Structure 1
Amino acid sequence: MKRIIIVTALCLVASLSLMAQKVGVQSSRCEVGLLYQISYQTNWGDSRAVVVEVIPDQPAAKAGLKAGDIIETINGRNTQEMSEEEINRILLDPSMGSVELEVTNFGYRNKRMTIQKQCVPAQAVSEAMLARAFNMYSVEDVTTRRFTMPYGYRAPEQIDFAQYRTFSFASGRKPTILERSIYQELLQKGLKYQVKGGDLVVAIQADLTANPNYREGAESDIEKGLKNYRFNAKTGDIQQYPFQSINAPSFIGSHLLTVAIQISDAKKQKMIWSVQAKERLNSPYSLETYADNFAPLLLSNFPFLRYISNPTFVLHKNSYRSIGVFFDANDLQRILWVEKGSPADRAGLMPGDRILTINGLPLESTVKAMTDGYHAFLRKSLFFRDEESRFPSSDGFDGNKFWRLDKYKEVAELMQEPKYKGAFTYLFSHRPYVHDPIIEDVVVEIQRGGEVIPIAMKPVLKKEDYIELM
C-alpha cells in the first residue's frame, strides 16, 4: 500500500523551536485539510486519488468532500495521469487561491467541488499548531492515540463499486436496533436506503457465545497492562472496554462476541464485501451497543479496502478555543495574520499588532522563553496527574496522564503563575483545571503604536478530531 499523504501545509514539527529555525524558505503556505491515497484497486478509484480522511473545519470539509470520495480530476486533469508530487503541488500552491475538483462517490458522479485554500504567511503559527505543541496543558483535549481492532475483511470481487446507488437489508424490513448504526453509516457514504429492491443487500449476523478455548483462572497469568482502550464513535472519546486485548492469548475471555456484515450484489446474488469482528470478554455485552459504538470502524474499509485483518486506527484529538490569530514564529508577540470573520477579526485585531499578555499572563516574544516556562510548569505539576490514567500516544510517548479530579484547583492556580509563561493556556480555558471558575472571554493586551489596548473576545471552541486508518 502506498503511503497516505497528508495534504496540509501545517509544519508538523517536534517543537515550535524547530519551526522557527525552518521558516523563511517560502513566503506563504496553504492548508486544505484532507488525507488521500492513490488507489491500487479496480473496485474503487482504480489508480485515482481517493480521499481517506477529511479534517473538520478545514477547507476540504467546508467544500463538502467526504472520506471515500474518488477525486476524478484536479483543475481538469485526470488524477490517473498525475503523480503524488503533482497533486500535492496543485493542492498546496499558494499562487492559486482555490482548486477545482470532480468527485465521485455512491451518491454522485463527477460532482464539481471547489476548495478555497487557506493561505497564510509561511512563518505563521496557528492556534491548532500551538494546541499540539502545548498539549500537556490538556491531554484531555489534544492527543493522538493508536488502537487495533480484531476485524477480518474479505478481499472484494473485481467489480466497480461506484455503480451501486441503493441498499436494503436482507430482512426486507426497516432497520432493526442492531442494524440502525450500519444503516446510518451507509447513508453517510452516499448510498440511499430502500426497504426492498436495493442494488446492495446487507446482512448482519451477531452472536455472543462461550469461548471454546477458555481456560478458567488463566487471566491471573497475563500481563495486567493489556488494557483495551478504543474510540467510541458515539461519544467521540477514547474509553476502556471489557474486551480482551488483541494481543491476549485465545484462551483468555469466557465469552466470544462475533459481529459479521456481508454486502452482496442483489442482481448477481453474490457477496462482494464482508467484515467480521471477533471479540473475547469475561461477561455478557449488548450486541446492539457494540454496533452503535463501532459501526464507523467496522465499515471504515468500505468501499475502499486498505486492510485485510486487524486494522490499526489513530484518533487525532485536537479541540481548542480559538480567537483566530496566527503568531509570528520568529516573534510570538507579533500578530502575523488574522482569520476573516474570527473573534479577533470582529474585535479589530490586525496584522502587526503586538500581544503583550493573554488573560493577564505574559506572552514572550521568543519560542525558547515560552517553552522553557511550559517545561518548568510540567515538572512542577507532575504530581497533580492521575497515574491510573497513563496512556501512550501514537508517537510512542507513554507518559500522558490526565489531571487528577481532586487537584483541579491546584492545577489552575499553578497555571496562572506568571513565571510559568502560561499565556497559551487560553487555548484550553474552557476547562476547570485552567481557570476556576471558568473564564468565558479571552482578554489580550495589544500594543499598537505607542498605546497599550485591552481587548476582550469570546473565543470559539474548535473540534478538529478525526480518525485515521493507518
Structure 2
Amino acid sequence: MRKIVLSTFLLFSVFCCFGQTSNKRVCRLGFTYDISQNSNWGKNNLVVTSVSPYSNAEKAGIQPYDIITHIESIPVSDVSNDEIAQLLNPANKRNIMLTIKSTSSPSREVILNKECKQINEISENQLAMAFNMYSLETTSEREFVCPFKTVATTDTVDFGQFRSYKFAATDENTELEANINRVIEKELAKKGFTSDEQNPDLLIQTFYYFDKNPNYVGPNPIKLKQPVYRFNISRNKMEKVPFLDPSASESEAAYLLQFGIRIIDQKVSAGRVLWECEANELLEEAYHLEEYAQIHVPLMLMQFPYLKYKKNVHFTVSQCTYNYTGINYDMDKLSTVVSVDRNSPAHEAGVRAKDVIEGIEGQSTDYSIEEFTAAYRQFITNTMELRNPETRFTDSKGFSRCMYWDAFKYPQVNKAIQNPNNLTAFAYLYYFAPYINPTSNNAITFYVKQGTERKKIIIRPTIRTGIIIELK
C-alpha cells in the first residue's frame, strides 16, 4: 500500500491558495490565477482559474475565467509577477480592490476581504480532505483526461466583445440536435451570453458522428483494461463510461464517436472561426450522442473563452462534503482550538479559541499528529475488506485502492469507526453518512475544557459541499 502521511498533507493543505505570511499568519485569497498569454482572453492580465467554495472570493462574486485588469487601480499589465503578488497581498491591509471584466460584464470593481489565519491553523475542510478515506463517497480528489482537440483563431481578437449567439440552421431539426443545443445554451448562459436570432455576435455549429468501427479487431489481449471515468457536471459526480484509454489504438475500439462545437464570428469578420473543440472517442460498446453531449459539452466549454490546452485536456476534480462546525484546530495538537468562525454552529454553541477538545462522540483527541497518522493508516489497511471493489479508482495522489464502502457492510464499518484504537475522533466530519453514523441524528457531542471547567457541548453542524473542477 502507498504510504499515507497525514501530517505532510495537512501542511500542504494549509499553504494551498494562501498568500502572504506575516507574524505567523497566512492570508487566503480564495482563488487561483494564471497570468494570461492568450491573445484572445486577458493577455498580460490575471485570469481566475478556480474559486474556493465558501470563500470571500466566492461571496464577492468572483468566478473562474474572470479577468483581473487592475489591482488597487494599478494596471496588472504594467507590473511584474513579483509586484502582482505584492499587490494582491499588501502588508497590514485585509482587503483589496480588484477591477474585473468577464463575458457577462465589461468592467466591475470588487472589494475582496482576505481571510487571514494563524500559520498553525487548520480548518475542517482541510481535515476532511486529509481524512477522506473515512468517506470517499463524499470527499476525494480525482483526475481524468478527455481527448479534446481545441483551437482558437490566431488573429488578435478580444473574445470579450462578443455577447450574443444563435445556433446554425440544420437540414433537419432533429430532437438530438435540439437536446444538444439546450446543453450548449445552458453553458453559454452561465458565461453571460444571450440568445439573439436576429443579429447575433456568434454563430454556434455542432457536428457529430457515431458508428461501428470497420477496422475493429478486438481488445488487446496483453494490456489490462483500465476503467475510464469522466465528471458529470450536471450530476456532480464521477461516472464510469465505456471509452477506451487514450493510449489505446483505434483497432481496439468496437465503435467510433466524434463530437465537436464550432464558434463562428458574426460581428467583426463574418464567417471567421473563432474557436473550435473536437473530441474523437474510442468506445467498447454503443453510447448515445445525447448522453455524450450532456457530460462533455460543459467540459469542452471550460476552455472558451480562455484556451489553455490544445490537446488531451487533463482535469482535476476536488469534491468535499463534510460537517462544518466552524472550529479551526492547531495542526500540531489537534485537540487545541485556535479559532472559531463567528456565527458558526460551534460559536453559537459556546466554543472559543484556546478551548481544548478532549473528545468527540466518545473518541479521545489527546494524540499527536504522528499517532493520528499511524492509526489512520492502520484503519485503512484493516478495513479494505469492507469496501466494494467494483467502485475502485485511483485518486489524484496516485493511491490506486480507493473504493467506496460496501453498502452491505455498513454495520462493520460503523463498528470500526467506534473502535477507540482507531483514533477516529475526526470521523465526526462525516457523521451524516450512514456508514459513520447509522442514526439520522447529525448532532455532534464535543467534550470541551474551557480553562478549568469541563463541558459537554452538543453542536448541530451544517453540511457543506464544495466542488472545484479545473484544468490541471
TM-score with structure 2 setting the length: 0.91
Which residue of structure 1 lines up, in the alignment, with residue 209 of structure 2?
207
Cα 1:407–1:25 change in 2 (3 A) is farther
* Structure 1 residue 98: Cα displacement: 1.4
Query: Matched residue of 2:26: which SS?
Result: strand
Matched AA of 2:247: N
* Structure 1 residue 142: Cα displacement: 2.1
Query: Matched residue of 2:219: which SS?
Result: helix
User: Is the contact made by 2:33 and 2:50 (CA closer than 8 Å) also made in structure 1?
Assistant: yes
User: Is the contact made by 1:98 and 1:115 (CA closer than 8 Å) also made in structure 2?
Assistant: yes
* Structure 1 residue 105: Cα displacement: 1.0
Larger displacement relative to structure 2 (367-376 or 294-303): 367-376
- The root-mean-square deviation of aligned C-alpha atoms, in Å, is 2.3
Matched residues, percent identical? Answer: 30
Which residue of structure 1 lines up, in the alignment, with residue 279 of structure 2?
277
Which residue of structure 1 lines up, in the alignment, with residue 447 of structure 2?
445
Query: Matched residue of 1:221: which SS?
Result: coil
Which residue of structure 2 lines up, in the alignment, with residue 114 of structure 1?
111
Which residue of structure 1 lines up, in the alignment, with residue 350 of structure 2?
348
Query: Matched residue of 2:302: which SS?
Result: coil
User: Is the contact made by 1:150 and 1:279 (CA closer than 8 Å) also made in structure 2?
Assistant: yes
Which residue of structure 2 lines up, in the alignment, with residue 221 of structure 1?
221
* Structure 1 residue 82: Cα displacement: 2.9
Within 2, Cα distance between the matches of 1:413 and 1:89? 51
Picking from 150, 165, 168, the partner of 1:167 is 165
* Structure 1 residue 220: Cα displacement: 5.4
Q: How does 1:402-417 map to 2 (within 5 A)?
A: 402-417=404-419
Larger displacement relative to structure 2 (394-403 or 183-192): 394-403
Within 2, Cα distance between the matches of 1:418 and 1:177? 53
Q: How does 1:237-386 map to 2 (within 5 A)?
A: 237-267=237-267, 268-386=270-388
Gaps of 5+ in 2: 1-5, 15-20
Which residue of structure 2 lines up, in the alignment, with residue 77 of structure 1?
74
Deviations 1:60-116 (A, max 9, x none): 111111111110111111111233333333434573221211111111122111222
* Structure 1 residue 385: Cα displacement: 2.1
Cα 1:222–1:261 change in 2 (3 A) is farther
Within 2, Cα distance between the matches of 1:315 and 1:53? 11
Deviations 1:251-297 (A, max 9, x none): 12222221110001113221111001111224332222211122221
Larger displacement relative to structure 2 (385-394 or 43-52): 385-394
Within 2, Cα distance between the matches of 1:249 and 1:311? 18
User: Is the contact made by 1:28 and 1:94 (CA closer than 8 Å) also made in structure 2?
Assistant: no
Within 2, Cα distance between the matches of 1:81 and 1:13? 40
* Structure 1 residue 390: Cα displacement: 2.5
Within 1, Cα distance between the matches of 2:419 and 2:263? 59
* Structure 1 residue 156: Cα displacement: 2.3
* Structure 1 residue 19: Cα displacement: 8.7
Which residue of structure 2 lines up, in the alignment, with residue 60 of structure 1?
57
User: Is the contact made by 1:326 and 1:337 (CA closer than 8 Å) also made in structure 2?
Assistant: yes
* Structure 1 residue 431: Cα displacement: 1.2
Picking from 426, 429, 434, the partner of 2:428 is 426
* Structure 1 residue 369: Cα displacement: 2.7
**2:465 matches 1:463:** yes
Picking from 177, 190, 193, the partner of 1:191 is 193
Deviations 1:97-143 (A, max 9, x none): 21211111111122111222111111111111111221211122222
Which residue of structure 1 lines up, in the alignment, with residue 395 of structure 2?
393
Which residue of structure 2 lines up, in the alignment, with residue 179 of structure 1?
181
Larger displacement relative to structure 2 (279-288 or 63-72): 279-288
Cα 1:152–1:19 change in 2 (3 A) is closer
User: Is the contact made by 1:429 and 1:438 (CA closer than 8 Å) also made in structure 2?
Assistant: no
Which residue of structure 1 lines up, in the alignment, with residue 8 of structure 2?
14
Cα 1:52–1:228 change in 2 (3 A) is same
Which residue of structure 1 lines up, in the alignment, with residue 31 of structure 2?
34
Cα 1:180–1:454 change in 2 (3 A) is same
Which residue of structure 2 lines up, in the alignment, with residue 6 of structure 1?
none
Cα 1:345–1:155 change in 2 (3 A) is same
* Structure 1 residue 222: Cα displacement: 5.4
Cα 1:248–1:166 change in 2 (3 A) is same
Cα 1:30–1:13 change in 2 (3 A) is farther
Which residue of structure 1 lines up, in the alignment, with residue 154 of structure 2?
157
* Structure 1 residue 324: Cα displacement: 0.6
Within 2, Cα distance between the matches of 1:110 and 1:242? 44
Within 2, Cα distance between the matches of 1:380 and 1:395? 21
Query: Matched residue of 1:42: which SS?
Result: coil
Count of residues paired in the alignment: 454
Within 1, Cα distance between the matches of 2:260 and 2:297? 11
Query: Matched residue of 1:30: which SS?
Result: strand
User: Is the contact made by 2:210 and 2:256 (CA closer than 8 Å) also made in structure 1?
Assistant: yes
Within 2, Cα distance between the matches of 1:105 and 1:423? 44
Matched AA of 1:14: T
Within 2, Cα distance between the matches of 1:135 and 1:241? 24
Larger displacement relative to structure 2 (163-172 or 408-417): 163-172
Within 2, Cα distance between the matches of 1:394 and 1:15? 13
Within 1, Cα distance between the matches of 2:305 and 2:83? 26
Cα 1:177–1:196 change in 2 (3 A) is farther
User: Is the contact made by 2:7 and 2:373 (CA closer than 8 Å) also made in structure 1?
Assistant: no
Cα 1:153–1:212 change in 2 (3 A) is farther
Gaps of 5+ in 1: 1-11
Which residue of structure 2 lines up, in the alignment, with residue 3 of structure 1?
none
